[in-house]
A and B are shown apart, each in its own frame.
Chain A
């Protein structure tokens, strides 16, 4: 078990102050401090696991992969949204280190936040390829050049950790804003040369809670642990939205935005 290493002679102590909330007893979240022994190779997540295993079994937090792939352990570490598995206790020595649940989200319990709203947004953007023209199996694959792939590939690296939402002051003021993460996924499909459902997704971009709710703060891209650059996804869609708005006068009613045909499933 990783936390056993902390008992070794080379360990130091750090105080971790966690914002706790137990809905059955607490009226509001309260900070609680724990003294945690750690070694240089221990992540904040391992620090939390040490607390749960040795100091206080009632502490709740989400985690799974321990290697920045699952996106479960996003939280405010030292006031910044970070993945606990990707952040090291040694960088906060001598502490104290504050750990809080992700900003802008309702707290379910301790470091666990409500993700329902975010999942709904992901569902709303047609998060799958809708081919321009359906190909029969004997017609072979949908082909794509490396340049076409480079247009959207980084947007497909999103792990849904929601750090970008915690970094977004506009989402803080308006929880209905579609937000950086969902918009990055939207652009992952809209930017794909094989996809033909741009018209459907542009409806979401145009909407009141779409791209125009963003004011280009840009911090979402700074905190992204996978270099997805969601600020780029949101802001290039302002351009797309504006172009789409002016070009609609030139299009025949049968045409769909951005020159793409709506080749949805039959």
Chain B
């Protein structure tokens, strides 16, 4: 029987490496920076639990040029992650209707970014205030 013979194109494997998917790839990849921060903090907590010497060693590691470079990298990754994360946030929640009107998605993104910035500044101020 000769009928239509649909052609299935081979799946693309490198779609994530090209625009318009690059923003998505960046958001997911920079999640590693977030995990990196968490690991550094966790290491600090473990060394705190295992005594003063371990904790001092961890503090010394934080002051090393290696650690500073790593943290600069983490910071860049974190900023990209926060930026792209709040851009996708309105997509993950039900439509926000206030007073019968739909709240625009870029407003939700703007509020999210403003709150993240505010939290960042507050933490910096508290850290500055707590310094001996």
Given A24-B2, A219-B21, is A106 in contact with B93 using a C-beta cutoff of 8 Å?
Answer: no
The minimal Cβ–Cβ distance linking B17 to chain A, given in whole angstroms, is 11
- Cβ of B88 within 8 Å of any chain A Cβ, yes or no, is yes
Is there contact, CB below 8 Å, between A172 and B91?
no
A23 to B8, CA, bound (A): 12
Cβ–Cβ < 8 Å partners of A232 in chain B: 90-91, 95, 105
Residues from chain A with Cβ under 8 Å of B65 in the complex? none
Q: Which residues does chain B contribute within 8 Å of A198, judged by CB atoms?
A: none
What is the count of residue pairs linking A and B with beta-carbon distances less than 8 angstroms? 82
Give the residue name and chain of the B residue nearest to A155 (CB).
B95
Measured between beta carbons, the chain B residues less than 8 angstroms from A107 are: 6-9
Q: Contacts A147-B97, A169-B15, A172-B12: A218 and B6 contacting too (C-beta < 8 A)?
A: no
- Is the pair B91, A221 in contact by a Cβ cutoff of 8 Å? yes
Contacts of A191 in B (CB 8 A): 94-95
Distance in Å from the Cβ of B34 to the closest Cβ of chain A? 16
Tell me which residues across on chain A come within 8 A of B24, comparing CB atoms.
215-219
A217-B21 CB under 8 A given contacts A106-B7, A108-B6, A232-B90: yes
- Chain B: residues with Cβ within 8 Å of the partner, total of 28
In the complex, A208 has a CB within 8 A of chain B: no
A96 contacts B by Cβ under 8 Å: no
A241-263, CB < 8 A from B? none
Which chain A residues lie closer than 8 Å to B8 at the CB level?
Answer: 106-107
Q: How far is the CA of A231 from the CA of B5 in the complex (A)?
A: 33
Report the bound CA distance from A106 to B4 in whole Å: 11
Beyond A23-B6, A232-B95, whether A218 also contacts B100 by CB under 8 A is no
**If the complex has contacts A147-B100, A222-B20, are A106 and B6 also in contact, measured as CB distance less than 8 A?**
yes
Chain B residues in 8 Å Cβ range of A195: none
Interface residues in chain B, defined as those with a beta carbon under 8 Å from any beta carbon in chain A = 2, 4-9, 11-12, 15-16, 20-21, 24, 28, 88, 90-95, 97, 99-102, 105
